[in-house]
Structure 1
Amino acid sequence: MASTSSTNTASATETLSVLSLTALVVGSMVGAGVFTLPAKFGSATGVLGALIAWLISGVGMLMLAFVFQTLAQRKPDLDAGVFAYAKAGFGNYLGFLSALGFWTGSCVGNVSYFILIKSTLGRIVPAFGEGNTIAAVAVSSILLWLFHFLILNGVKEATGLNNIITVAKIVPIVIFLLILLFNFHPELFASNFLQGQGYERESIFTQVRSTMLVTVFVFLGIEGASIYSRYAEKRSDVGVATLVGFVTVLCLFVSVTILPYGILPREQLGALRNPSMAAVLEFVVGRWGSVFISVGLLISVLGAYLDWTLFAAEVPFMAAKNNVMPNFLARENSKGVPAAALWVTSSLIQAFLIVTMFSQNAFTLALELTSCLSLIPYLLVAAYGLKLAFTGESYNTQPRSRRKELVISAIATFYAIWLIYAGGLKYLLLSALIYAPGTILFLLARREQNKKVFTFNEWFVFSIAAITAVFALYALVTGRITI
């Protein structure tokens, strides 16, 4: 792909079709998370709690998808995706925090993919263990840099490969669902409906709350078309790709979660080793089922890794273009790839990979920290949509839709706040350990521009982040929180 211009416009040869944008959305959401859903939900809740959790998450994320669609139409000049909305609505520093949160969350999410790959292969190669042994990290590092150099050869070529991978990884999931339908036991499903044997003391509220970060993780990528909106053939394609991708993936996630309750008791579901989809299918059809799903997982996760590396590099690149990160991150190579941002992104993923060797449950840590880091960017997007609808900005030509979009953005904002609460204090503290020191990049950018670093309100936000980070560091040192 040819280099983009400084105005961030794309020529006809640089555009992505609505199909490619939809594949980016579906491909990025159907990654590691879907293959862990049976055990994740089985350990947290019964059928009723799972249905309530998906209802809440489905409505909340649908409202967020509508907000992305609305903003793509009402603010077509904001073509840098998630962080651009935060910057436009709430200033430079919150725009930077949104970019930093999404960027680092994407990097940690990519680490979770490597962990799951090696955990899956650990069934065959014991040296890989649960995906965070020295051998596992070494092989993951090789894969990391192979993908790095693939992407350096051009974003358009990489997204073309993604279209093929997206189709290839959906097929095993569909076959998994069909096999479970033909082996479904209604009596077992009924016994798992409320809580399941041995879980009678849990309240529905507690069950549902414990699934929230999992549902956030699997829905990450809903903003994929928005991030690449500058490549869209038409602005309307961004909204279409987001909604079609969301509905497709929601149907898959709900089915993968609910059907296993008719195959195994909840207690057994919750104890399955990841990828738990493989274990469920092995129970039904034998060893070949586990191998079949494991191959599908490898294809799926490698494809999702490609998407998220593209997304991750695009965010600091566009943030630098929009003056909230240092200029060096805006450098491109001869093929229009944000090379500097990609090098920093791959190095950050490498650092997180090394950290996983010291974690007791590396996959859960990566999954839930990724989700938590994404909540601030999502909250700011929803809040910006709410701000536009509340003030009436951009509604001069379509005033009738203002009330509807006010309700939609309000629900999306409330949902994001609920997610932050449901995620718990631990991951909020760990997020602060990234937000506070990461502010150095913002300081460098402001110094390059010879501008005042913070406004009064931004000083207040930074102070909260810094104090929280100090408390988090103290909690880690004293063992009050662990990784």
Structure 2
Amino acid sequence: MATYADAKTPAVKLSLVTLSAMVVGSMVGAGVFSLPRRFAEETGVAGALIAWAIAGTGMLMLALVFQSLAMRRPDLDVGVYAYAKAGFGEYLGFFSAFGYWASACVGNVTYWVLIMSTIGAIWPALGDGDTILAAVLSSIGLWAFLLLIKQGVKEAAAINRIVTVAKIVPILVFIILALFYLDTDVFAQNWGGADYAGSLFNQVRGTMLATVFVFLGVEGASVYSRHAKRRQDVGRATVLGFLSVFAVFASVTIVSYGILPMSEIAELRQPSMAGVLEHAVGTWGEVFVSVGLIVSVLGAYLAWTLMAAEVLYVAAKDDDMPRFLRRATADDVPVPALVMTTLLAQVVLIITLFSDDAFNFALDLTSALSLIPYLLAAAFAVKITLKPDSRTEGSGSATGLAVAVLATLYTAFLLYAAGLKFVLLSFIVYAPATILFVMARREQGRRLFAPGELAICAVSVAGAVMGLIALAAGWISI
């Protein structure tokens, strides 16, 4: 039987290579295999190039922000959550922690939906990953992984490093084969998009949540900063991981436009990368990509489950979550946080059964939930550059300020691109989380809300009520 330790449990230390693998492993998951269809539904080659230029620049700014914050505020662990708290108070810090955690849990659901959809190509009972049988099998997978991770963080991280290498290979093979079979006439026909795509601005806007989803995890090393052998490895792993995957994501998208007309790519079942390669080389291409996807997704699921539990655990250590979440085994595994992570994923998995498009719904909600934590982290970088305090190491620079401002503007634009639907759905998830905040405050015998915190709570509850009314009236749907 596992024994539990208190918040002083020594953290397992990870190397630069392992931290980099955590970043790559968390970014390279379900999203990359769905990119051809997601982009073809919205835009052509020109729009895709612009979208990747915006997303790549914006996410690079965020990666540089996390690199800078890791060095200038080495006292803060689990960056996304800790930066929001240090910059804007406990309640917004709590919201950031919960939003980031919830985003990871919803994202984990996309992995199981895509696995079941992949197998559904040969086992129709699984459909597009949204049937009852698919949900049952996915649920078994959720709880089986919890048992694996309970064996220890060090062991799980080592597995993730091996899986990261294994899943990159089929993606690179796809890019090489697609380049070899690329039809320049088809590529040229797909250049300007299609009539259904609308203006170029709307085409680019329509891809933004998909790009956010595939880049989620750029902060992976920051989340695991307390485990780093050397503090500078956190920033290095962040930038190294980002640069390693950006070219891969953009390449997968662009080369697909040279294989099939975008209208046909838009009709492919997910994972659409398998359908593209099948058209180019035959059935073995679909099988090859499908096997690579399953390995990739399981590895990403492992990385994200670790990171999600880590956020709850450290938030509880800082008294921003109820005390039961700060318990960990002697092997440094936060089991209560893992159980909560799996439970939320289970709930979302059931909800997807009522969605018209389970995969895209979960993907877009994952991206939307992550935007508030990203925005607060970027804004904190602006704040400490303009007004550093006694805990801030080093001096700010004009370049650092420009990077932080660009990252803030980029995440603000993403909120606009997400649209009112996903903002309201995010409020529905955020508002009930305040119960955990109240539990933590009561355990400490503190006042439940300061005046400013009460105002933020009122806004979140009002947004949730509006979201529920919109759902009930049919103004928005899942």
Q: Which category of TM-score, normalised to the shorter sequence, fits these structures? A: over 0.9
Query: Which position in structure 2 is the counterpart of 1:438?
Result: 433
> Is 2:346 aligned against 1:333?
no
> Hey, what's the Cα distance between the residues in 1 that align with 2:158 and 2:227?
14
Tell me which moved more, 156-165 or 77-86: 77-86
- Tell me the amino acid that sits aligned with residue 32 of structure 2: V
> Hey, what's the Cα distance between the residues in 2 that align with 1:405 and 1:4?
40
- 1:81 positional shift: 2.3
Q: Is the 8 A contact 2:228 2:234 kept in 1?
A: yes
> Hey, what's the Cα distance between the residues in 2 that align with 1:332 and 1:408?
37
Q: Is the 8 A contact 1:35 1:297 kept in 2?
A: yes
- 1:476 positional shift: 1.1
> Hey, what's the Cα distance between the residues in 2 that align with 1:396 and 1:248?
30
Query: Which position in structure 1 is the counterpart of 2:404?
Result: 409
Q: Is the 8 A contact 2:186 2:259 kept in 1?
A: yes
What percent of counterpart residues are identical?
55
Query: Which position in structure 1 is the counterpart of 2:231?
Result: 235
* Secondary structure in 2 matching 1:211: helix
> Is 2:300 aligned against 1:313?
no
Query: Which position in structure 2 is the counterpart of 1:388?
Result: 384
> Hey, what's the Cα distance between the residues in 2 that align with 1:478 and 1:396?
49
- 1:394 positional shift: 6.0
* Secondary structure in 2 matching 1:65: helix
Q: Is the 8 A contact 1:74 1:394 kept in 2?
A: no
> Hey, what's the Cα distance between the residues in 2 that align with 1:71 and 1:85?
8
Query: Which position in structure 1 is the counterpart of 2:345?
Result: 349
Tell me which moved more, 341-350 or 250-259: 341-350
Query: Which position in structure 2 is the counterpart of 1:43?
Result: 41
Q: Which of 458, 461, 467 is equivalent to 1:463? A: 458
Query: Which position in structure 2 is the counterpart of 1:376?
Result: 372
> Hey, what's the Cα distance between the residues in 2 that align with 1:397 and 1:219?
28
- 1:6 positional shift: 3.5
- 1:4 positional shift: 7.9
* Secondary structure in 2 matching 1:195: coil
- Tell me the amino acid that sits aligned with residue 85 of structure 1: Y
Instruction: Describe the shift of the 1:339–1:208 C-alpha distance in structure 2 as closer, same or farther (beyond 3 A).
Output: same
Q: Which of 160, 164, 172 is equivalent to 1:174? A: 172
Instruction: Describe the shift of the 1:380–1:9 C-alpha distance in structure 2 as closer, same or farther (beyond 3 A).
Output: farther
- Tell me the amino acid that sits aligned with residue 133 of structure 1: T
Q: Is the 8 A contact 1:83 1:99 kept in 2?
A: yes
* Secondary structure in 2 matching 1:210: helix
> Hey, what's the Cα distance between the residues in 2 that align with 1:22 and 1:179?
27
Query: Which position in structure 2 is the counterpart of 1:34?
Result: 32
> Hey, what's the Cα distance between the residues in 2 that align with 1:297 and 1:396?
42
- Tell me the amino acid that sits aligned with residue 122 of structure 2: I
Q: Deviations over 1:236-261 (max 9, x none)?
A: 10001000100111010000000011
> Hey, what's the Cα distance between the residues in 1 that align with 2:167 and 2:390?
40
> Hey, what's the Cα distance between the residues in 1 that align with 2:86 and 2:127?
46
Q: Which of 70, 73, 85 is equivalent to 2:71? A: 73
Instruction: Describe the shift of the 1:157–1:183 C-alpha distance in structure 2 as closer, same or farther (beyond 3 A).
Output: same
Instruction: Describe the shift of the 1:463–1:397 C-alpha distance in structure 2 as closer, same or farther (beyond 3 A).
Output: closer
- Tell me the amino acid that sits aligned with residue 25 of structure 1: V
- Tell me the amino acid that sits aligned with residue 473 of structure 1: L
Tell me which moved more, 43-52 or 385-394: 385-394
* Secondary structure in 1 matching 2:269: coil
Instruction: Describe the shift of the 1:113–1:134 C-alpha distance in structure 2 as closer, same or farther (beyond 3 A).
Output: same
Q: Is the 8 A contact 1:112 1:366 kept in 2?
A: yes
Q: Which of 56, 59, 84 is equivalent to 1:58? A: 56
Instruction: Describe the shift of the 1:403–1:353 C-alpha distance in structure 2 as closer, same or farther (beyond 3 A).
Output: same
Aligned runs of 1:6-155 on 2, under 5 Å? 6=7, 10=11, 14-155=12-153
* Secondary structure in 1 matching 2:255: helix
> Hey, what's the Cα distance between the residues in 2 that align with 1:87 and 1:434?
20
- 1:8 positional shift: 7.0
- 1:325 positional shift: 0.5
- 1:396 positional shift: 7.9
Instruction: Describe the shift of the 1:72–1:396 C-alpha distance in structure 2 as closer, same or farther (beyond 3 A).
Output: closer
> Hey, what's the Cα distance between the residues in 2 that align with 1:395 and 1:155?
30
- 1:2 positional shift: 11
> Is 2:419 aligned against 1:424?
yes
> Hey, what's the Cα distance between the residues in 2 that align with 1:225 and 1:2?
27
Q: Which of 446, 452, 470 is equivalent to 1:451? A: 446
Q: Deviations over 1:187-217 (max 9, x none)?
A: 2212211224x44x72110000000000000
Tell me which moved more, 469-478 or 451-460: 451-460
Alignment length (residue pairs): 477
Q: Is the 8 A contact 2:5 2:327 kept in 1?
A: no
Q: Deviations over 1:239-286 (max 9, x none)?
A: 010001001110100000000111111111111111000000000011
> Hey, what's the Cα distance between the residues in 2 that align with 1:279 and 1:446?
52
Q: Which of 154, 157, 175 is equivalent to 1:156? A: 154
Q: Is the 8 A contact 2:22 2:220 kept in 1?
A: yes
- Tell me the amino acid that sits aligned with residue 467 of structure 1: A
Q: Which of 166, 191, 194 is equivalent to 1:193? A: 191
> Hey, what's the Cα distance between the residues in 1 that align with 2:393 and 2:86?
20
- Tell me the amino acid that sits aligned with residue 457 of structure 2: F
| TM-score of the two chains, using structure 2 as the length reference | 0.97
Q: Is the 8 A contact 2:219 2:238 kept in 1?
A: yes
Instruction: Describe the shift of the 1:460–1:246 C-alpha distance in structure 2 as closer, same or farther (beyond 3 A).
Output: same
Tell me which moved more, 181-190 or 126-135: 181-190
> Hey, what's the Cα distance between the residues in 1 that align with 2:10 and 2:166?
32
Q: Is the 8 A contact 2:3 2:329 kept in 1?
A: no
- Tell me the amino acid that sits aligned with residue 384 of structure 2: L
> Hey, what's the Cα distance between the residues in 1 that align with 2:351 and 2:295?
25
Q: Is the 8 A contact 2:221 2:237 kept in 1?
A: yes
Tell me which moved more, 457-466 or 25-34: 457-466
Q: Is the 8 A contact 1:225 1:238 kept in 2?
A: yes
Superposition misfits of 4+ residues, deviation over 3 angstroms: 1-10, 392-399
Q: Is the 8 A contact 2:5 2:330 kept in 1?
A: no
- Tell me the amino acid that sits aligned with residue 26 of structure 2: S
Aligned runs of 1:351-370 on 2, under 5 Å? 351-370=347-366
The answer for unaligned runs of 5 or more in structure 2 is: none
> Hey, what's the Cα distance between the residues in 1 that align with 2:360 and 2:128?
11
Query: Which position in structure 2 is the counterpart of 1:217?
Result: 213
| TM-score of the two chains, using structure 1 as the length reference | 0.96
- 1:80 positional shift: 2.5
